[in-house]
Amino acid sequence: MKTPVSFEFYPPKTDEQRAQLDRTAQRLARFKPDYGSCTFGAGGSTQSHTPRTVRHLREKFGYNIAPHLSCVGGTRDEFRTLIADYLDMGCDRIVTLRGDIPSGMGDPGEFKYAIDLLKFLREEYGDHFHLHVAAYPEIHPQARNAKHDLQNFAAKAKAGATSAITQYFYNVDAYFRFVDDVQKMGVDIPIIAGIMPISDFHKIKQFSAMCGSEIPRWISQRMDAYGEDMEAQRDFATEMVADLCRRLTEGGAPGFHFYTLNLAKPTVRVLDLLD
C-alpha cells in the first residue's frame, strides 16, 4: 500500500518567489498528495499572505490546503474572520500551532498555547475541520522536560486533535519511541512523520540547532567527508532520507509530510527513489 504524502509550502512575498512556488507545486502535484499545508506568520508579519497562497494553490493546482493557524497575537474575532475566508474556499483542514513569539511582543493575544486555539476551533466549528497539531519526537526545545512535553502532546490529542505532524528528524528511533510513549498515555491519533529533504546541509545544520532537531553524528561526519563535492553530498542525502522513509514505512508510520521550503528537487529525488 502506498504511504500517503503531503507537502508544506510557505507564502511567497516577491514575484520571483511566486514563480518558484508555482514551479514547485506543479512538479509535486504528480505525486497526488493527500493535502498540502501553508505556513502562517504571527503578529501580522506574513499572515495576510497565507489566505492568498491557500486560495492560489487550491484553485490553480487543485491542492487540498491545510492553512497553518498560529495562536500568537490573534484574537477570537480575528480568527473568526480568517476562518470564514477558509470556509468560503472549501478548506476542511487546519494545522493548529502556538507559533513563535516575535521579539518585543508584549501581548501574546487571547490564546497562549496551541491547545487553547484547538479548543476554540472545536467549540466554534465542531467536527468540520481535520485539526492537525505539532509533535516533537526529540522534545520541544522550550519544553520544561521530556515528561512534561509528552503530557502536553497527550492533552492536545485528547482536546480534539485529529492527527499530528512531527517536527522533522533524522533519528528513526526517536519517532518510534515517541509513538510508543504517547500510545501508552492513551493517544491513538495518527502521528505523521515530518520529513526534511536536504538541499543545503550547512543551512540544515544551522536551522536544526535552533529548532532542536538532532543531526546524528554519523550523518555530519559523512557529509563533511564529501567536502565541496556537492553532487556526492546530494546523492548521499537523498539516499539517507529515502532510507529513513523506508524504515518508517516498515515500522507503520501512517504518512509523510515533506517540508519543501518551496523547492521541488530535493523532495522529488527522494520520492522518485522510493518509487
d(CA 97, CA 133): 6
d(CA 13, CA 18): 7
Contacts for 101 with CB less than 8 Å, ≥ 6 apart: 42, 72, 108
Strand extents, DSSP E, the chain: 5-9, 35-38, 65-70, 93-97, 130-135, 163-166, 191-195, 256-259
Among 8, 16, 110, 124, the active-site one is 8
- Is residue 113 within 8 Å of residue 135, measured between CB atoms? no
Annotated catalytic residue 8:
yes
Give Cα separations from 246 to 45, 51, 170, 199 (angstroms): 38, 34, 12, 20
d(CA 255, CA 32): 13
Identify the three-state secondary structure at position 114: helix
In residues, how long is the chain? 275
d(CA 173, CA 178): 8
Q: Which three cell numbers stand for residue 267?
A: 523532495
d(CA 11, CA 156): 27
Give Cα separations from 129 to 22, 61, 64, 126 (angstroms): 26, 21, 12, 8
- Which active-site residues does the annotation give? 8
